[in-house]
Chain A
Amino acid sequence: DAGVTQSPTHLIKTRGQQVTLRCSPKSGHDTVSWYQQALGQGPQFIFQYYEEEERQRGNFPDRFSGHQFPNYSSELNVNALLLGDSALYLCASSRISRDAFFGQGTRLTVV
């Protein structure tokens, strides 16, 4: 049984560009949450998707947007990248209101 898978594992983007990160949840899970983990810090909640809708959102600007597909996979989009967006982006999946399982993350570097 595959766990939570994220792609790509690493990528480098230039300031002002746009990026899309992808997440496939663990089998049987219907909820996907995204977190940003800056170097040396704890993860910060970006948003959560359930039934293809954004259910909760953290304190992130509108440049951060997401989507959930009918197969429960999810995308995180970030527009107009800033140097400060460089971080490890973690996806977590769960059944609604149950314990979350995290993927290994996507390391984004903005130059």
Chain B
Amino acid sequence: GDSVTQMEGPVTLSEEAFLTINCTYTATGYPSLFWYVQYPGEGLQLLLKATKADDKGSNKGFEATYRKETTSFHLEKGSVQVSDSAVYFCALSDHKAAGNKLTFGGGTRVLVKP
């Protein structure tokens, strides 16, 4: 079945550092890929998505590129802020939108220190 693997945390960074969170997936067909963020005490928020190979999703300074050849969707941000401290989840769906069943990775906790 479908699965998502992402790097384990916690990832601890200083403010303005570069962030990368690795995500790889296994799926049949051509899934859509997503990054969600979960701030303390809150539900999940869609951060960005990509629906086909070579697409780049971006939002709030975060970027991720859908790499079919390496089955990856790594999340990057060039300069993190304390407010980026959260848990980040990589996910896939077998339809272009996340309204259908989502398969999530285990999450990566990011802590940004001032």
Contact = CB atoms under 8 A, between A and B. Distances in A.
Given A42-B89, A42-B105, A42-B107, A104 B41 contact: yes
Given A31-B99, A42-B89, A42-B107, A99 B44 contact: no
Given A41-B106, A42-B89, A58 B101 contact: yes
| CB-based closest 8 A-B pairs | A94-B99, A42-B104, A102-B43, A102-B44, A104-B43, A100-B98, A98-B97, A98-B99
Contacts of B36: 102
A25 B45 CA distance: 15
- Secondary structure dominating the interface of A: loop
Contact of A100 (B42, B89, B96, B99): B99
Contacts of B49: 99
Interface string B56-97: 000000000000000000000000000000000101000111
Contact of B44 (A41, A48, A90, A94): A90
Interface of A: 4, 31, 33, 35, 40-45, 48, 56, 58, 90, 92, 94-105
A94 B105 contact: no
B100 A44 contact: no
Contacts, number: 66
A56 B100 contact: yes
B42 A94 contact: no
Contact of B102 (A40, A45, A95, A105): A45
